[in-house]
A and B are shown apart, each in its own frame.
Chain A
Amino acid sequence: MSERQDVVVAGGGYVGLSLALALKAADPGLSVAVVEPKPPAALRRDGRASAVASAARAMLDRLGVWSSIAPAAQPITEMVVTDSRVGDAVRPVFLTFGGALEDGTPFAHMVPNAAMVGALLDAAMATGIGLIAPDSVSSFETGPGATRLTLASGRRIEAGLLVACDGARSRLRDLAGIRTVRWDYGQSGIVTTIAHERPHEGRAEEHFLPSGPFAILPLADDAEGRHRSSLVWSERSDEARRLVEGDDFTFALELERRFGRHLGAVRQAGPRHAYPLGLTLARDWVRPRFALCGDAAHGIHPIAGQGLNIGFRDAAALAEVLIEARRLGQDVGAFDVLERYQLWRRYDAFEMGMVTDVLNRLFSNDLTPIRLIRDIGLGLVDRLPGLKRRFIREAAGIGGDMPRLLRGEAI
């Protein structure tokens, strides 16, 4: 007889781990396993950082991991948006946001992925979640009482539900026969960490350059006390490849042209990677005994920094739907149960995908009339306190039909 699990989560990133943890915390009687292709040590070495919105932080707090992430987290205390060309000596500031919500908490933190995933892994181990790594789900066959998984190692598992948290290029989504709506922006996001002379004072900057948005996001100082920021730099894909694969000197030069000198001398303090940017939206989120969660359901443009936050929103909503079903004695893999999750999340993610798409098209542009329109728009937002508050709340991930965990409540 093969092993039986109530829920198998494919993908041990922050979405998969937080889903597993949320389920196990609410119902210790539920058997949950996470299957991850990378060895756990590699997950703890991820050099990237993510913007964690206030609502996502509340969820991490509720899951008991925020306290171990907090020392590495940098609150974003101010956000500046400019519209400029690369060569502009002075970048007119169109929009500034104080980085706090009405209650004084920062609307977001920059968190190193390694710290976040590390804390989630530790908590998952402590609550009795089975971590199967390195291994991956190579095939599955959905029967009436369970879905039968075969892992790459040959291990077999019967699962009540398989949740694919395996990223924007989800293989399990394809195996489930779920089609996507997708388009490629012809842009890539260059991601790296830089060190700079002067402290950033918790200020995040987003410069809308003609080739795409260029964001500087504040990181906590490293162990040697160096001031650091995370860069997300969009360029046309061919240009991005040239920059990432080229020599350090060219990269440093191009970096300085865009970054400016306001934080003093700048140098690279981490490896650089380029990720092709595209919009991928799954047409369906669920099948019997199968659900998509996080980027597997929606890979969106990082322009508004919302990818991670809607991923947490999915995890919180799915956990809530499944736990509610368990409390009623329902089968967690039943299609009508999973449909509630799809109904709750699919439109929201679609809307976010469209908004980020329009923002990107509007801002990755150098045509004078379009610049004029968007600058008037940004200027207006800056002068209308109500609208601005609304934007801050959106960026903090607050609003809509929020899952309980994102409100900081138990399921």
Chain B
Amino acid sequence: MSAAPASTVDDAEIRRFSAMAAEWWNPAGKFRPLHKFNPVRLGYIKQEVSARFGRDAQAPDAFAGLSLLDIGCGGGLLSEPMARLGASVVGADASETNIEVARLHAAEAGLAIDYRATTAEDLAASGATFDVVLAMEIVEHVADVGLFVSTVAGMVRPGGLLIMATLNRTLKSYALAIVGAEYVLRWLPRGTHDWRKFLTPAELSRHIEASGLTVIDRVGVVYDPLRDRWSRNARDLDVNYMLLAQRG
């Protein structure tokens, strides 16, 4: 037997999310924070992808004809909207349970999405490439960041986009994302995030650029407790942020 190939999957992380998978699609349930967070990241993806591919950002079918990979798709919270906008979507997640939940839900919604229980490496090894690759709220959970970023970046076609969202490693993110979200507000189960694995925008940008892509935009995402709503903020990247990169 040969040694296990290098992998970006961390087994303990997968088990933790599988246990929560049944709750994925309940907007009032455990994943409420993610449902609340969804419109702001959808808005950014819609705007940027439309702009770079010459589509009308107001059109409900703006992504028709685009191929899109949602890596770490979970229960399909992003894959389904992308499919509704017209993209041909591959949703990949290392957790078999998540993929089962996602498949079931897409069938109920009448959406054709190619869900695969696989890893970024295996997908890349199959030679798959995409116009748009989404790696949202995933990089903070992987074991080998450099390998993960170069793998997903490698699947972006020339002229295509990579969009990543994650958490910054700052004192503020420790206070808000760990102490606030996991301990005080109990939005997330304790242990969902390991602060030490968080990446600064500069660190993540270096990984992306090392993979041959150019970072063309970065934006913060901030929570407004009064309106219970997330919104984009170009200056405040201290906690949640998104990066947009393009292959030239």
Q: Which of B79-87, B189-197, B204-212, B231-239 makes up part of the contact surface?
A: B79-87
Among the 9-residue stretches A14-22, A270-278, A323-331, the one with 4 or more Cβ atoms under 8 Å from chain B is A323-331
Q: Is A27 an interface residue (CB 8 A)?
A: yes
Q: Are A29 and B60 in contact (CB under 8 A)?
A: yes
Q: Counting CB contacts under 8 A, is A176 at the interface?
A: no
B43-75 contact mask (Cβ, 8 Å, vs A): 1 or 0:
100100000000001111101000000000000
Residues from chain A with Cβ under 8 Å of B59 in the complex = 327
Which residues of chain B (71-100) have a CB below 8 Å from chain A?
Answer: 80-85
B109 touches A331 (CB 8 A): yes
Known: A329-B85, A335-B27. A145 touches B109 (CB 8 A): yes
| B85 and A144 form a contact (CB under 8 A) | no
Contact of A330 with B36 at beta-carbon distance under 8 Å, contacts A144-B108, A335-B28 already known: no
The answer to whether B5 has its CB under 8 Å from any CB of chain A is no
For the complex, give the distance between the alpha carbons of A143 and B108 in Å. 9
Q: CA separation between A30 and B84, bound complex, in Å?
A: 12
Interface size class of A (residues with CB under 8 A): 10 to 19
Is A336 positioned at the interface, with any CB of B under 8 Å from its CB?
Answer: yes
Answer yes or no: A93 CB below 8 A from chain B CBs.
no
Whole-angstrom CA separation of A4 from B238 in the bound complex: 45
Contact B108 A334 (CB under 8 A): no
Q: Are B35 and A336 in contact (CB under 8 A)?
A: yes
Indicate which residue in A145, A146, A330, A335 contacts B39 across the interface (CB closer than 8 Å): A330
* B46 with A327: CB separation less than 8 A: yes
Query: Chain B contact residues (Cβ within 8 angstroms of A): what range?
Result: 20 to 34
For the residues of B in contact with A, the DSSP-based class is: helix
Q: Does the CB pair A334–B39 fall under 8 Å?
A: no
Q: For chain A residues 290-349, which have a beta carbon within 8 Å of chain B?
A: 326-331, 334-336, 339
Task: State A331–B58 Cα separation when bound (angstroms).
Answer: 16
Contact between chains at A334 and B27 (CB < 8 Å)? yes
Taken together as a complex, chains A and B put the C-alpha atoms of A143 and B84 apart, in Å, by 19
**B127 on the interface (CB 8 Å rule)?**
no
Q: Which residue of A lies closest to B36 (CB)?
A: A336
Query: Closest approach, in angstroms, between the C-beta of A331 and any C-beta of chain B?
Result: 7
**A-B contacts at CB below 8 angstroms, number:** 54
Alpha-carbon separation in the docked complex, A146 to B111 (Å): 13
**Chain B residues with CB below 8 A from A329, complex form:** 42, 46, 60, 63, 80-85
Could you tell me if B58 and A327 are in contact, using CB atoms closer than 8 angstroms? yes
Residues on B with beta carbons closer than 8 Å to the beta carbon of A30:
60
Chain B residues within 8 Å of A146, by CB = 108
Residues 108 to 126 of chain B near chain A (Cβ within 8 Å): 108-110
Residue of B nearest to A325 (CB): B39
- Are A330 and B42 in contact (CB-based, < 8 A)? yes
CA distance A4 to B61 in the complex (A): 19
Within 8 A of A (CB), among B189-229: none
Report chain A residues within 8 Å CB of B39.
328, 330
In the complex, B247 has a CB within 8 A of chain A: no
**Nearest CB in chain A to that of B83: its residue:** A329
Kindly report which residue of chain A lies nearest to residue B77, judged by CB atoms. Answer: A330
Q: Which residues of B contact A327 (CB under 8 A)?
A: 46, 57-60
The chain B residue sitting closest to A143, CB to CB, is B108
Which residues from chain A sit less than 8 Å from chain B, CB to CB? 4, 27, 29-30, 143-146, 326-331, 334-336, 339
8 contacts between A and B (CB under 8 A): A29-B61, A143-B108, A145-B108, A145-B110, A327-B60, A328-B43, A329-B85, A336-B38
